[in-house]
Amino acid sequence: MKYQQVETAFFIDRPNRFIAHCMKKDGEMIIAHVKNTGRGKEVLIPGAEVAIVFAPGPKRKTDYDLIAVKKKGDWFNIDSQLPNQLATDGILDGTILLPGLTGPFTAYKREVTYLHSKFDIYLETAAGQKAFVEVKGMTLENKAIGAFPDAPTLRGLKHVGELAYAAQDGYAAYVLFIAQFEHLHFATIHEEMQPALADMVRHAQQSGVQILAYNCQVTADEVTVKQAIPFDVAIPFEDPIQ
């Protein structure tokens, strides 16, 4: 995925979840829409280099989107709308493998309802298999361990729980974490942030849900899915903001 009309700037502050004040390289001060309502405190540090996209529109309050932040020399994409597209492209082109599914895909749909949830991706294979994939973006990292979530998520808790029911009901079921950065050795659940989610992931795995994680190669203006990363809910995560 490559963005257009990208330039770099410096992060100044974030008065609320939706906007950030930034200074362009020529000294101009601008307001950018932050394309992620998560906390972002571990990367959005005053003076950090950020990537902004010029995207004016008649219904917009800002002319820019803030899409990425540089942390210790590495770019972290924080666009929360991107993981679903990366997942879709990666699954369909074979970059992302869903263990257990055989044969070519014969059906693909987005936002399919099961019980009380809408899962991001629904697939059918020529072998007659039916699968749900729930995609989660991951931007939180410390000591080469990526973690989800960066804030408690009731929606995520419900999705994982209902994927467990889907697996018991005969569907192939997956949680797919897209780490929007490159350098990590493991992915895990931030259990201290949301113990109930870690417990639900354990239950889902016991029910047959497969938890997958992939990292990405990231620059200021481009993000590409790279490779599978081991996931282990038992790995402890040390929150960098404590």
Asked whether the predicted pLDDT for residue 242 surpasses 80, the reply is: no
Choose which CATH entry (3.40.1350.60, 3.20.20.70, 3.10.560.10, 3.40.1280.10) describes domain 82-228: 3.40.1350.60
Nearest to 226 by CA among 178, 191, 175, 169: 178
Domain 6-73 fold:
OB fold (Dihydrolipoamide Acetyltransferase, E2P) (2.40.50)
Q: What is the pLDDT of residues 152-192, one digit of tens each?
A: 999 999 999 999 999 999 999 999 999 999 999 999 999 99
Does the pTM surpass 0.75? The reply is yes
Nearest to 226 by CA among 187, 195, 188, 183: 183
List the end-to-end C-alpha distance of the chain, in Å, as a whole number. Answer: 33
Q: How far apart are CA 134 and CA 179, in angstroms?
A: 14
Q: What is the pLDDT of residues 220-230, one digit of tens each?
A: 999 999 999 99
Nearest to 39 by CA among 58, 65, 59, 16: 16
Which run of H or E residues covers position 166? helix 154-168
The residue whose two tokens read 């072998």 is: 127
Q: Say which residues have a Cβ less than 8 Å from residue 126's Cβ, sequence separation at least 6.
A: 103, 104, 105, 106
Nearest to 71 by CA among 148, 150, 151, 141: 141
pLDDT at residue 37, as a whole number:
84
* pLDDT-derived band at 3, boundaries 50, 70, 90: very high
Residue ranges per structural domain of the chain: 6-73, 82-228
Q: Which amino acid does the sequence have at 123?
A: L
Q: How far apart are CA 159 and CA 163, in angstroms?
A: 6
pLDDT at residue 52, as a whole number:
98
Q: Measure CA 173 to chain center.
A: 18
Beta strands at 64-71 and 74-77: parallel, antiparallel or unpaired:
antiparallel
Q: What is the pLDDT of residues 64-120, one digit of tens each?
A: 999 999 999 999 999 999 999 999 999 999 999 999 998 899 999 999 999 999 999
CA distances from 26 to 7, 9, 30, 53 (A): 11, 9, 11, 16
